[in-house]
Amino acid sequence: MDKTLLKGLSLLETLSRSPTARGVSELAEEVGLTRSNTHRTLQTLVAAGYVHQNEASNYGCTLKLFELANAVLARVDVVEIAQPAIQALAAKTLETVHLSVLDGVEVIYLQKIDSPQPVRAYTSVGGRSPAYCVATGKALLAHMGRHYLDQLEGQMRAYTPRTITNVATLAEELRQVRKQHYAINRGEWRASVCGLASAIFDASGRPVAGIGISGPTERLKVTRLREFSEDVVMAARQISKALGYSPHFGPDDEL
């Protein structure tokens, strides 16, 4: 095991349970570390944004832990809350429906209902896709701000001739996604698969998931996809409302 990591986690757990900021000597005694070790580990946690140091040189947790916990809770909540909307969208469109979340520069599929039609999109729950190549990923990236997109610089590999491979072009498309409230994948991840998706927001206005449909390019031309755009956007809004979202909370970072 990585002992340095364990020391940091031990300090975080101790600080998270403390009602007030704590001094180095007090923390060192409680967690069983030397004073120098404790000070060095705390400074690392400060640099990483998990701990802050006040004017009295005492240490306390920042809200970064709360943000991380919130993200995990949102994933758990959204799967259960989204079920009625997912099922209704699948019944209405007869296409494969996905519920996805962002994880860095990828999306993870949390839930899926397969199309009853013989040719359908192949994905699996727990599977990953590059966020910039798929509809649910682009729907979420559109609300993350340019600082988030900068993570993609130099990583945008071309999977098909239609894949967007630079941040500037992607940002331009995402501005349109924000205006129309849905994103389209035109065979950018798999040439034979297209899709359309919309973002889901939680009570604080954060984009926490994306819901979308996908299917074979032969059946889901862009014009056909757009016919389902209202259904997909309405499904996303229903789930957002169930999560406590109010439109005036919407994020406004410029891309």
Report strand pairing: 59-61 vs 51-53: antiparallel
Q: Of 112, 143, 128, 104, which is closest to residue 251 (Cα–Cα)?
A: 143
Q: What is the pLDDT of residue 140?
A: 95
Are residues 51 and 132 located together in one domain of the fold? Answer: no
> The domain spanning residue 55 has which CATH number?
1.10.10.10
Are residues 56 and 72 located together in one domain of the fold? Answer: no
Q: What is the pLDDT of residue 74?
A: 60
Percentage of the chain surpassing pLDDT 90? 47
Asked, for residue 123, whether it belongs to a domain, the answer is: yes
Asked, for residue 254, whether it belongs to a domain, the answer is: no
Q: What range does the domain containing 37 cover?
A: 3-62
Overall pTM > 0.85: no
Q: What is the pLDDT of residue 210?
A: 95
Are residues 47 and 86 located together in one domain of the fold? Answer: no
Are residues 45 and 141 located together in one domain of the fold? Answer: no
Count of C-beta atoms within a 10 Å radius of residue 230: 12
Q: Which residues of the chain have pLDDT under 70?
A: 1-2, 70-76, 118-124, 248-255
Question: Is 7 exposed, middle or buried, given 0-12, 13-18 or 19+ CB atoms closer than 10 A?
Answer: buried
Asked, for residue 181, whether it belongs to a domain, the answer is: yes
Are residues 144 and 197 located together in one domain of the fold? Answer: yes
Are residues 36 and 10 located together in one domain of the fold? Answer: yes
User: Which tokens in the block code for residue 230?
Assistant: 């209202």
Q: What is the pLDDT of residue 119?
A: 56
Asked, for residue 208, whether it belongs to a domain, the answer is: yes
Q: What is the pLDDT of residue 3?
A: 78
Are residues 50 and 117 located together in one domain of the fold? Answer: no
Asked, for residue 255, whether it belongs to a domain, the answer is: no
Confirm if 11 and 61 have CB atoms less than 8 A apart. Answer: no
Question: Is 127 exposed, middle or buried, given 0-12, 13-18 or 19+ CB atoms closer than 10 A?
Answer: middle
> pLDDT (tens digit, 9 = 90+) per residue, 56-104?
999 999 988 877 776 666 666 788 888 999 999 999 999 899 999 988 8
Asked, for residue 113, whether it belongs to a domain, the answer is: yes
Question: Considering 46, 62, 78, which residue would you say is the last residue of a domain?
Answer: 62
Measured distance CA(87)–CA(122) in Å, rounded: 18
Question: Considering 32, 62, 92, which residue would you say is the last residue of a domain?
Answer: 62
Number of domains in the chain: 2
Residue 173 Cα distances to 69, 81, 83, 99, angstroms: 31, 30, 29, 21
Are residues 21 and 97 located together in one domain of the fold? Answer: no
Measured distance CA(76)–CA(156) in Å, rounded: 29
Q: What is the pLDDT of residue 40?
A: 92
Question: Considering 62, 82, 97, which residue would you say is the last residue of a domain?
Answer: 62
> The domain spanning residue 195 has which CATH number?
3.30.450.40
Are residues 56 and 139 located together in one domain of the fold? Answer: no
Q: Of 183, 171, 246, 242, which is closest to residue 210 (Cα–Cα)?
A: 183
Q: What is the pLDDT of residue 99?
A: 93
Length of the chain: 255
